[in-house]
């Protein structure tokens, strides 16, 4: 239930152009907060602008944009209630095949950018005894094949969140992690396009080793478009973490995410490996030609 005091509070949501970020901005505005919605382009600002949703141009890898956001928050009479670190990218390829600059870009956005924004806004959050909500992933608990860079960045974000929570608890600031499973968002389509582009640049040798795996990864990612949760459903969980007086330290979004994270805790590594391989196997391309005849 929205209270009159909530209309006097700010929430910053990064990566709010589309998907979970945009849905979270709308959900929090509907609950009475004034949302500063981080977007990278002017056209995205026009799309997200609404009552109590104020777009701000923000690339979390650019210090000047982060400084401008901190100045905007510091110049407002309203308290900053929460920072939702949602911006992210997904760059998927086998460890051997992914060029180092792509590894660095993945971590620059999914980890270092969040740290930079958090550092810039912590003075305001400490003043308000607010909270930091970091959007991780089930990939922050379980690393699927070809998700080494993405999962690595999310594993790291989980660790940083744990450390930050323990540092800030005595100071009255709460830190919460959200772990979505399959959610229908634009990041899935972008990830598929990135995988296909990288596959086109791989050497013949790497294609021989990993080509079919990447086709399976693309097929599995596309299945999220029909089987995944809606961004609006995920946004409600994020908004609950922002508004609950005593939020949990972690929220898993979606049945698949809850099941997979539980299995990761319970199963031995080899058993989990076999389970994940079985889940991916149905997305492999069907054998053709001589291979199909041989398997008949």
Report phi then psi at 188, rounded to 5.
-65, -50
Beta strands 34-39 and 250-253: pairing type? unpaired
- Among positive and negative, which fits the CA dihedral 132, 138, 109, 191? negative
Provide CB contacts within 8 A for 205, sequence distance 6+. Answer: none
**What is d(CA 59, CA 277) in angstroms, rounded to the nearest whole number?**
36
From the list 150, 210, 251, 284, the catalytic residue is 150
End-to-end CA distance of the chain: 61
251 is catalytic: no
**What is d(CA 53, CA 56) in angstroms, rounded to the nearest whole number?**
10
The token pair that represents 82 in the structure block: 């929460």
Residue of 52, 56, 163 whose CA lies nearest to 118: 163
Is-contact 20 50, C-beta < 8 A? no
**CB-CB neighbours of 253 under 10 Å:** 24
> Which active-site residues does the annotation give?
150
């Amino acid at each position: 239930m929205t209270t009159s005091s909530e209309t006097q509070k700010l929430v910053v949501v990064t990566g709010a152009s589309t998907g979970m970020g945009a849905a979270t901005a709308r959900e929090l505005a509907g609950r009475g907060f004034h949302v500063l919605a981080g977007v990278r382009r002017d056209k995205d600002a026009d799309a997200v602008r609404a009552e109590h949703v104020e777009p701000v141009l923000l690339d979390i890898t650019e210090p000047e944009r982060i400084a401008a956001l901190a100045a905007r928050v510091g110049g407002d009479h309203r308290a900053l209630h929460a920072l939702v670190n949602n911006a992210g990218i997904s760059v998927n390829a086998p460890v051997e095949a992914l060029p180092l600059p792509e590894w660095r870009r993945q971590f620059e956005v999914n980890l270092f950018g969040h740290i930079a924004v958090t550092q810039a806004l912590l003075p305001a959050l400490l003043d308000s005894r607010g909270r930091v909500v970091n959007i991780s992933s089930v990939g922050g608990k379980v690393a699927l094949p070809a998700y080494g860079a993405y999962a690595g960045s999310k594993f790291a974000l989980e660790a940083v969140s744990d450390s930050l929570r323990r540092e800030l608890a005595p100071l009255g600031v709460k830190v919460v992690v959200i772990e979505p499973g399959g959610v229908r968002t634009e990041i899935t389509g972008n990830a598929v396009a990135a995988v296909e582009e990288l596959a086109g640049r791989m050497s013949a040798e790497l294609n021989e080793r990993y080509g079919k795996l990447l086709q399976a990864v693309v097929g599995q990612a596309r299945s999220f478009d029909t089987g995944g949760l809606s961004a609006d459903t995920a946004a409600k969980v994020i908004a609950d973490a922002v508004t609950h007086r005593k939020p949990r330290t972690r929220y898993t979004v979606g049945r698949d995410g809850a099941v997979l994270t539980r299995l990761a805790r319970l199963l031995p590594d080899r058993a989990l490996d076999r389970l994940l391989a079985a889940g991916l196997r149905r997305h492999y391309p069907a054998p053709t030609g001589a291979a199909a005849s041989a398997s008949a």
